[in-house]
Amino acid sequence: MSREELVSYKVHGVNEIMNALEGVKAGVTKRVLRKAVRAAAKPVIKEARDNVKDNQTMLTGQLRKSIGLGKVRTGKSAVYAAIGPRKGFSWTDDSGHVHYPEFYGRLVEDGTAYIAPEPYMDEAHRSKESEAEKIMEKTTLKGIDDEVKKAAVKGKSIYG
């Protein structure tokens, strides 16, 4: 499993979202989808943290604490964010060696020549995919309603 597969999460097959966003201004679409991606990532993050918590090799808890949502970005045709160990979480062991969970997380997920793999992200992705799709759909539709109400107060339209 490559690093992109480890930390990326994609929701496919949500036709209602695409239909609801048809004709909506690009800025409104980005704003609504960014909120939806953040909301849909929450159950996956929680499940991944729970999977690491059950891991018998966990010594400091830093890997579990580091799992979260990266910056939500907007591409030409997608809104996406990385889920997994984030930078900025490190710890120093008794011998003075500094450990970084964003690197260590891949070793735990994929294993090494000396350590058996203990997948936590892949299992979280698989077990929470349908829940994330439902949350994304619900959040997107609510976001569109909120944007319509906000635009109505200003006397504007969200359709371009």
For the cut 70, the answer to whether the pLDDT of residue 144 exceeds it is yes
Distance of alpha carbon 135 from alpha carbon 156, whole angstroms = 28
Tokens of 83: 């889920």
Q: Please provide the size of the chain in residues.
A: 160
Distance of alpha carbon 100 from alpha carbon 102, whole angstroms = 6
Task: Decide if 72 contacts 34 (C-beta within 8 A).
Answer: yes
The predicted-structure confidence for 12-57, as pLDDT tens digits, reads as follows: 555 667 777 778 888 888 899 999 999 999 999 999 999 986 655 5
Find the mean pLDDT for residues 89-115.
Answer: 87
Q: Give the pLDDT of residue 77.
A: 74
What number of other Cβ atoms are within 10 A of residue 93's Cβ?
A: 10
Find the mean pLDDT for residues 118-127.
Answer: 92
Find the mean pLDDT for residues 141-155.
Answer: 90
Q: Give the pLDDT of residue 48.
A: 93
- Average pLDDT value over all residues in the chain: 83
Q: Which pLDDT band holds residue 8 (cuts at 50, 70, 90)? A: very low
Higher pLDDT, 128 or 89: 128
Q: Give the pLDDT of residue 55.
A: 58
Q: Which pLDDT band holds residue 1 (cuts at 50, 70, 90)? A: very low
Q: Give the pLDDT of residue 93.
A: 83
Q: What is the largest CA-CA distance in the chain?
A: 64
Q: Give the pLDDT of residue 5.
A: 42
Burial of residue 77 (CB within 10 Å: 0-12, 13-18, 19+) is exposed
Q: Give the pLDDT of residue 14.
A: 58
Residues 76, 42, 124, 131, Cα dihedral to 10°: -80
